Amino acid sequence: MESRYKKYQTIERLNEVEGKEVTLRGWVYNIRSKGKLHFIILRDGTGICQCVVFSGNVLPEIFESAKSLTQESSIIVTGMVKKEERAPGGYEIDVKDIEIIQITNDYPITPKEHGDAFLIEHRHLWLRSSKQHAIMRIRAAVIKAIRDFFDGNGFKLMDSPLLTPNACEGTSTLFETNYFDFGKAYLSQSGQLYAEASAFALGRVYTFGPTFRAERSKTRKHLTEFWMVEPEMAFFDLNDDMELAEDLVEYIVQFVLKTCQQELKTLERDTAPLEKVKRPFYRMSYTEAVDWLIANKVPLKKYVDGKEVDIHPFPWGEDFGTVQEEAIMEQFDKPCIIHRYPTDVKAFYMKRDPENSKVVLAMDMLGPERAGEIIGGSQREDDYDLLLERIKQHDLSVDDFQWYLDLRKYGSVPHSGFGLGVERVVKWISGAKHIREVIPFPRMIYRITP
Ligand code: 4AD
Ligand code: MG
Q: Whose CA is nearest to atom 7 of ligand 1?
A: 419
Q: Whose CA is nearest to atom 18 of ligand 1?
A: 421
The atom number, within ligand 1, closest to the CA of 435 reads 25
Which ligand number lies closest to the CA of residue 373?
1
Mutation to probe ligand 1, out of 142, 187, 190 (largest number of atoms < 8 A from CB): 190
Q: For the whole model, what pTM was predicted?
A: 0.97
User: Which of 170, 197, 186, 187 is closest to 228 using CA atoms?
Assistant: 187
Out of 42-46, 279-283, 305-309, pick the least confident. Answer: 305-309
Out of 118-132, 152-166, 169-183, pick the least confident. Answer: 169-183
For residue 136, give the H/E element and its range.
helix 130-151
DSSP 314-331: PPTTPPP-HHHHHHHHTT
C-alpha span between 97 and 61 (Å, rounded):
10
The CB of 352 under 6 Å from ligand 1? The reply is no
Q: Whose CA is nearest to atom 2 of ligand 1?
A: 376
The CATH number fitting domain 123-438, selected from 3.10.310.30, 3.90.226.10, 3.30.450.40, 3.30.930.10:
3.30.930.10
Which ligand number lies closest to the CA of residue 189?
1
Query: What are the residue ranges of CATH 3.30.930.10 in the chain?
Result: 123-438
Q: Whose CA is nearest to atom 17 of ligand 1?
A: 375
pLDDT, tens digit (0-9, with 9 covering 90-100), for 249-269: 999 999 999 999 999 999 999
Cα of 373 vs centre of ligand 2, distance in Å, is 7
Does residue 168 carry a pLDDT above 80?
no
Strand 37-43 versus strand 48-54 pairing type: antiparallel
Does residue 388 carry a pLDDT above 90?
yes
Share the mean pLDDT of the chain: 96
Mutation to probe ligand 1, out of 215, 218, 424 (largest number of atoms < 8 A from CB): 424
Total Cβ atoms within 10 A of residue 428: 25
- Report yes or no: 348 and 294 within 8 Å, Cβ to Cβ: no
Partnered with residue 186 across adjacent β-strands are 164, 176
In three-state secondary structure terms, 285 is strand
C-alpha span between 38 and 69 (Å, rounded):
10
User: Which of 229, 272, 273, 279 is closest to 250 using CA atoms?
Assistant: 279
Q: Residue 183 phi/psi, 5° resolution?
A: 85, -130
For residue 362, give the H/E element and its range.
strand 362-367
Does residue 66 carry a pLDDT above 80?
yes
The rounded Cα 268 to chain-centroid distance in angstroms is 19
Mutation to probe ligand 1, out of 192, 212, 373 (largest number of atoms < 8 A from CB): 373
pLDDT of residue 111: 82
Query: What are the residue ranges of CATH 2.40.50.140 in the chain?
Result: 4-102
C-alpha span between 208 and 158 (Å, rounded):
8
Partnered with residue 187 across adjacent β-strands are 163
Domain 4-102 has CATH 2.40.50.140: yes
Alpha carbon distances (Å) from 304 to 58, 307, 318, 319: 73, 5, 15, 17
C-alpha span between 340 and 283 (Å, rounded):
11
Close Cβ partners of 176 (under 8 Å, ≥ 6 residues apart): 184, 185, 186
Q: Residue 367 phi/psi, 5° resolution?
A: -90, 155
pLDDT, tens digit (0-9, with 9 covering 90-100), for 92-144: 999 999 999 999 999 999 988 899 999 999 999 999 999 999 999 999 999 99
